[in-house]
Amino acid sequence: MTDRSRGRPRRVLVLGTGGTIASTSTGGSGAVASLTARDLLGELAPEGVEVESDDVFTLGSYLLEHRHLRQVVEAVAAAVARDDVDGVVVTHGTDTVEETGFLLSLCHRSDKPVVLTGAQRSADHTDTDGPRNLRDAVVVAADPQAEGMGPLLVFAGLVLPGGRFRKAHTLAPQPFAVPDGGPLGTVEEDGVRLHARPVRHTSPLSLPARFDTTRVDVVTLHPGADAALARAAVEAGAEAVVLAGTGAGNGNHALLRWVTEAVAQGVTVGVSTRVAEGPVAPLYGNGGARDLLDAGALSMGALPLFHARLLLAALRSTGQEVTQEVVDRYA
């Protein structure tokens, strides 16, 4: 795959962050991320593509903090700024790759392809899926068809929008789903086939260092829920709280009273849903979503729950006023 405008093969930089794809078993005590991106690449060399590697960190993604996510965003930005790099692959643990993908979708400015991938089986598993996923990701990152699409996830032969997928199964070989959507394409033996393009944000965010310490918590609604956890979150330093409401974002009388108090104190309250698919909708009063929004909470729309949490963290960290109009711009 040659870049005709430059008379050279396409070049892809693989950034390693750890995860199952980089994990090996440690004497019966569970798999641990330990392999570098160079280890993972091995003899992988798609025809006509030059591949190089670097490591951001090597961790299971269940251990990541905001600062790690910002490091990935900055590493990707530095990579795409290089004239000799045509695409970037990020190897990542599947537990929280949806957060990293969403954050990249908020911040990525370049048209160069950025592709996330990982594995469901550790590197020393007899039927590991890591090498195939990594090869597919490199092929997509090197393909001019992927330019201008924003971050993508390539996993088990599917190409998914990097800003909207979520992990929907703990162990399945293809664990990812796109709420209210589907894949953008596939990776076949004879190349990449894309049949849709995602909508990209027109006002990318810049993450300040303050993002690392911006606390946003999630409080889930259930029968009998009160405002104790929401109040505790604010007392612990949360600048925003996302309510995972029942149904289309409904609360109850206790949470409604708390929303009124919290908004008056300057706390940002987002209304999401604990349901896997579908948007927040202000259908009900009497403590329902209509009342929560009228009390000053913000609708997180159709954003998956933990994407909504991350969006509020990113927005609060910038110091800008977080209004419904601003949320709608990125939701």
Q: Annotated catalytic sites, by residue?
A: 20
Tally of CA atoms within 13 A in the half-sphere of 18 that contains its CB: 18
Report the C-alpha gap between 69 and 286 in whole angstroms: 39
Residue 138: strand, helix, or coil: helix
Contacts by residues 164-171 (CB-CB < 8 Å, ≥ 24 positions apart): 164/102, 164/105, 164/198, 164/304, 164/307, 165/98, 165/101, 166/98, 166/304, 166/306, 166/307, 167/94, 167/95, 167/97, 167/98, 168/276, 171/120
Report the C-alpha gap between 330 and 262 in whole angstroms: 23
With contact defined as beta carbons under 8 Å apart, do 149 and 185 qualify?
Answer: no
Residue whose token pair is 């409080």: 219
- CB contact set of 228 (below 8 Å; sequence gap of 6+): none
Q: Is the dihedral of CA 238, 330, 306, 280 positive or negative?
A: positive
Report the C-alpha gap between 165 and 119 in whole angstroms: 16
